[in-house]
Structure 1
């Protein structure tokens, strides 16, 4: 079954100063300024924008996220250099249901994938990105809804994600993700985009040599070669 899904994935027509001390001085306080010492603010690494357009039931998406992206971010300590955006939509689409006069969504691997994509979207909306990524990484192992099992394993509170999914319709949840993905007109899932520049003819190379492309993109943008880049 996974082999068939994998084929389908490849076919067809995506500081402000921080208040220090105990607040601002009162009018009757004396402010003493020292010029003898200099404080150096910690250097915040510059982050490369990386967008991943994927589908919850696409084996190619699962493989890339679990085997390429996850390992690259952790093994190279690249989270601090990465602004990660996940778009769980892929080669889905919207249509108007003339009978109900409502917008509907269809997904490459059927209704179940639409529901899982929407659940991933709610996770991304309600959790910090690294926590959301850990949860999605865990859930992608099973090709099914593993929210309870994975959230319990990771010790994450997913009540807001549940409320998001239960209180809103799937097309509404997926609308902003679809809007960004459909701009690309992608033909393969997953699709990886650096700094909002979509390179359709480089996708195969990016998928199989993600670390090399990340290194070259980071150096090109910031003129910095990361320590783990060869």
Structure 2
């Protein structure tokens, strides 16, 4: 009697000396583990909509606030961030916020924002290019190689961006159209607001947050050993 109650949802029995599992009546239990999912014929669905999402939520959330022509930002992205991307992408979500120490002024006559950047107009252009690439190619594996290429290549901002687009999956015509549009302007404003609302306020770039937090110790460790910092933070309870 008690045995039948315990296994009223999942019926377990032996067949040819092995353990077999029947599919539970409740769909909420179908993705509890791979054996149950297999019995229910929903392995693919569980992997796509439950297990993968759960895995993404377990990842470390790394955000990098930077500006495209900042030497320290370029060094950090092309070494520490690039190495982390190549080695431990499965445990980290990497987000780029290309704005840095810029400032913005709203122009009511044009209903657009005008941006002023620490390293001049070329940097504002570079920030906008990165902003549009991230928007048009939201997957890290699509936009990070482009960002790495532009940050590791010296030269005219537009020319370098076109060359890096040819080396990656980026369509520069689409990016250029975005940069010159109201959409691009608004996207950059969103990054401006995100940067200006950091707590604590950012004091320099690159500025790193891990799971939404920033400390000086964390920043120093990220710049010396980003992989170590992410691995140490991963699934910490």
Does residue 232 of structure 2 align to residue 216 of structure 1?
A: yes
TM superposition shift of 1:98: 8.6
Give the match for residue 114 of structure 1: 124
Alpha-carbon distance in structure 2 between the residues aligned to 1:168 and 1:103 = 9
* Root-mean-square deviation (Å): 2.6
Does residue 218 of structure 2 align to residue 202 of structure 1?
A: yes
Does residue 103 of structure 2 align to residue 93 of structure 1?
A: yes
When residues 156 and 170 of structure 1 are mapped into structure 2, their CA distance, relative to the original with a 3 A threshold, is closer
Alpha-carbon distance in structure 1 between the residues aligned to 2:146 and 2:131 = 12
When residues 189 and 103 of structure 1 are mapped into structure 2, their CA distance, relative to the original with a 3 A threshold, is same
Task: Please tell me whether the aligned partners of residues 113 and 189 of structure 2 are also in contact (alpha carbons under 8 angstroms).
Answer: no
Aligned residues: 186
Alpha-carbon distance in structure 2 between the residues aligned to 1:99 and 1:163 = 22
Identify the structure with the greater helix proportion.
2
Task: Flag structure 2 segments of 5+ consecutive residues without an equivalent.
Answer: 1-20, 24-34
Please report the TM-score for the alignment, with normalisation by the length of structure 1.
0.71
Secondary structure (helix, strand or coil) at the match of 1:209 reads helix
Written as runs of structure 1 = structure 2, the 5 A alignment for 1:1-230 is 35=22, 38=36, 39=38, 41-42=46-47, 43-44=51-52, 45=55, 46-74=58-86, 76=87, 78-96=88-106, 103-127=113-137, 128-143=139-154, 144-145=157-158, 146-168=160-182, 171-184=185-198, 185-200=201-216, 202-220=218-236, 223=237
Task: Flag structure 1 segments of 5+ consecutive residues without an equivalent.
Answer: 1-33, 224-230
> Which entry has the higher C-alpha Rg, 1 or 2?
2
Task: Please tell me whether the aligned partners of residues 117 and 124 of structure 2 are also in contact (alpha carbons under 8 angstroms).
Answer: yes
